[in-house]
Amino acid sequence: MTPWDDERPAYTVSELQEVLSISNDVAAELAGVGDGVLGALRERLNCTIRLRGNRITLEGDDVRVAEARAVVDELVELVEGGHEIGPSTVDAVLGALDQAEDIRDVFEDVVWRHRGKKIAPKTVNQKHYVDAIRSHTITFAIGPAGTGKTYLAMALAVAALQEREVGRIILTRPAVEAGERLGFLPGDLLAKVDPYLRPLYDALYDMLDADRLTSYMEKGAIEVAPLAFMRGRTLNDSFVILDEAQNTSPEQMQMFLTRLGFGSKVVVTGDVTQIDLPRDQASGLISVQNVLGSIDGIAFITFSNADVVRHKLVQRIVEAYRAHAEATGTERRR
């Protein structure tokens, strides 16, 4: 017997191995979706992880096994608490552990429910974003695609409308010609800008029944319009979301922010790595950070590739483009 045997937990087989007994429900979740959760665990934690029946074996050096044990414990508690888990949950748990956050505070902050679907933060940073929107009049969310910037903001907007915290939702985007020309598109102006606004409609249909959404839009309780339509207006008692804000000019950004009225909340989202403006045209989303960064009542939340909750390959694509821009000096600075 070695000197440390008496100190080992009962489930420890050897110095570098732990065998944990888990419930059948937890085992089914871990093994679900083609072993996606187990694959993510193996990839992120760099240790051997095997699941047989309701026993999971962790093997590796002490530090890796201890980290894996902490993550598995968190996943077990999430499943037993009724949460669905997937590969992205592993990243969320790791982020929560790194930041000394309780992962249940993240997953249990349900922003909106629709037809049995729960919309809630999936990363610690998304939780900070949701909290910032609730506690600030203006919130900027800056980061790559797939980080939930617009989707979470829209869910909060729908919830605020349903709870009568605001009288209407206004969703807007700049209609910038991203490789296409509006003049060649058929129809009147509204028909021409519709493709730019379509992603906003898609998200709304994901959160509301079609009949209710149609009723809201007919009554003017939900408005989807290009940014140019905001000029000259004062937006009172409204939840206003400006999406794709990296494609605004500084003048457009100023125009939009000064539309703010009483009882309103504003969320501005964008990705400064996907600017469709000409190189000699400054982006309002970049300049606004320097202008308004120190003003009370305004929050800036920055997302990274670690917050991407789409397919894992999207994280790698985002990181590859970021690294290439840094290496070549081609990132936008204005």
Per residue in 164-198, pLDDT (tens digit) is 999 999 999 987 653 334 444 455 555 656 677 78
Pure H helices in the chain: 24-45, 62-80, 87-98, 103-107, 124-135, 149-162, 189-207, 210-219, 250-257, 284-292, 312-328
Give yes or no for a contact between 171 and 256, defined as CB atoms under 8 angstroms apart.
no
Q: Tell whether the model's pLDDT for residue 210 goes beyond 60.
A: yes
Tell me the CATH class for 5-107: alpha beta
Q: What is the mean pLDDT of residues 118-146?
A: 94
Opening angle at CA 73, ends 72 and 77, nearest 5: 115
In this prediction, residue 38 carries a pLDDT of: 84
Asked whether the predicted pLDDT for residue 332 surpasses 80, the reply is: no
Give 13's contacts (C-beta < 8 A, 6+ positions apart).
19
Check whether domain 112-328 has CATH 3.20.20.140, yes or no: no
pLDDT digits (tens, 9 = 90+) for 8-37: 444 444 457 889 999 888 888 888 756 678
Of 295, 288, 258, give the one whose Cα is nearest residue 272. 288
Domain ranges of the chain: 5-107, 112-328
**DSSP category for residue 260:** B
Sign of CA dihedral 201, 205, 208, 210: positive
